[in-house]
Structure 1
Amino acid sequence: MNTQATDQLNTVRDWLRFAVSKFNKAGLFFGHGCTNAYDEAAYLILHTLHLSPDQLEPFLDARLTFDERNEVEKVLQRRIQERRPAAYLTREAWLGDYAFYVDERVIIPRSFIAELLHNHLEPWITEPEHIQHALDLCTGSGCLAILMAQVFDEAEIDAVDISQDALAVAKKNVDDYQLSHRIHLIHSDMFDGVSGKRYDLIVSNPPYVNAASMATLPDEYRYEPSNALASGKDGLDATRCILSVATNYLTDRGMLIVEIGHNREALLSMYPGLPFTWLETSSGDSFVFLISREQLAGWQIRSSQ
C-alpha cells in the first residue's frame, strides 16, 4: 500500500473508508461470513484493534496509535494481496453469537443449519428433551455439533469427519466450549465409524459443490480443503450416500437434516416422490431439507416394488 497515503489515515473511520475502497478496487470475493466490502473491512479492523464486532459506532472517530495503524495496514494488505478469507487471517469465524477457531484445515463455517438450530428447529422439534442422541456428519470445525449441544441440553452428540486435521480443529472448539463430556469426535468416512448406533437427529452440511463450480471457484475458496467442498460431477455424491443408508442410523422417530447448496432441482429430479420438507432460511427454502426416517423408509419400500 502507498505509505504516504496511509500516513494520512488517523481514525477508525478513515481506515474503514480506505479499506472499503481498496477491497472494491481489488475485486475481492466475499462469502465467508461477510457479504460485502464494508462489513468485512469493519470486521478486520475491529478484530485487529481487539474490539468487539458490535463496537464500531462508538470508536469510529477514535485515533489509532502508530503501532495500531501498522497492524491494520498489514491485515488489509494480506486480505488484498493473498485473497485469503478474513476468517483465516483472524483465525475466527462466527455463527450468530458463537465464535469458533478456524484455520485452513477446515472450511469456514457458514451453514444455514446454524440459523435453524438458533430457532431450536421449531416447529419440527417441539420437545427438545426428546433428542437424546444426535449426529453431526461431516463436522469440520465442530460448529454444528456445538450448536446442537447448546440447543438440546439432554443430547449426547457424535461429531464425525473423514479428516483428522478437521477433527483436531473441532477438538479445540469443543474444548473451548467445555463440551468434551457431551460431544464425541469420531474419525470416520461418513457412517463407517458409527456402525450400530441410532440417532434421534442427524444433521449434515456435507460437501456439495459440483465439478463445474469447483473449476471456477474464486481465489478465496482455494484456501479451503477441496475434499470439504467437492462432491462429484453433480455435487450430490455425499448426499446420495447419506440418503442411501440414513434409515440404518435413525431411531424410529428420528429426523435427517441436510444442507445441499444450490442442488435442489438436481436432487428432486434424482429422487422423484421422496417427500422432502424444505426448511425456510434467510436465503429461501432451497438449501436445506428435512426428512423423517419413516418417510425415507416408506419411499425406499415403494421404490423397490
Structure 2
Amino acid sequence: MPDITHQTAPTRFAEAGGNSYAYRRFGKDASGDVPLVLLQHFRGNLDNWDPALTDALAAQREVILVDYAGVGASTGTPATSVTESARHIIAFTEALGLESVDLLGFSLGGFVAQEIALIRPGLIRRLVLAGTGPKGAPGMHGWRADIASHARARVNDAEDLLYIFFAHTETSQALGKQFLGRIFARAENRDEPTTVAVRDAQYDAIVEWGIPDHAALQRLTGITAPTLILQGDDDLMIPTKGSHTMAGLIPDAQIRIYPDAAHASLFQYPAEAAADITAFLA
C-alpha cells in the first residue's frame, strides 16, 4: 500500500462544540512521539500548506493539518478573535483524543499557537512559531497599505501571494513561484476556498491582537513549552523585530532567521525549515 502524503491524504472531519473540523492526518506514527499539529495563516486552508514542508516533516512524525471553524471545509462561524480560535483548536484536539501535541503556528496560526500555549500549557510539548509576532508589540496593529491591499483582495491570486509572502528580490520571488506550483499540484479532493466572511473575521482578530499594549508582551513569559521561532529577515507583514522580542521573553526559546526572505520563509526554504523543526522537536 503506497504511503499517504500531503497530496493523497484524505480529508477527515472531527465534531467538537457544534463545529465539524476538516483535517488531514498523515506521516510516520512513531511509538512515543506526539503528533505535530499545524495552524494556518490568514485566509489559508488545508491546501495552502507547502507539500515540500509537510511531507518532509511527516517523514519523521505524524502531521495533522486542520481548518479553523468556518474555514475551508470546516463548518461553523469564523472566529473574530485569536482567543476564540485557540479555544476552537483546543476543542478539536480533545475531539481527536490528543492529550499532548507539538504545535506549529504560521502567521495568524502563530498568534493562535501562543494563545493555546498560555490557555492550555499542559497540551503543548514543544512549540514552533513561524512568521508571527507577539500580542501588542510595536508595528503589529494592522498592515501597511500595500500589504493590506494584496492580503485583503477579494480573491488572492498568485501575484498577491508573491507580493505579501516573499521578499521583493529576484531570488525570493523565483522561489515563491516554485512554492505556488507545489500548492496547486493536488488535483483531487481539494479543500474549499476561503470566503470573504473568513477574510473579514480573521482580519478583525489580527487587528485586535496588534493593538499596542506593552503590558501584553509580559504574557510571553508564561509560555512554558520549549519554543522555536522562525522568520524571514525582512518580513513585510509582521515585523521581524517581533521575533526577537518573543525570543527574549519566552523563557526557553531559540530563534532562526532565514536570509533574503519575507513572511513565508518556511515555504521559501522548506527543506531547511523542515530540518530545523525536526531537529528541534527531536
TM-score bucket (shorter structure): 0.3 to 0.5
Q: State the structure with more CA Rg.
A: 1
The alignment's TM-score, normalised by the length of structure 2, stands at: 0.33
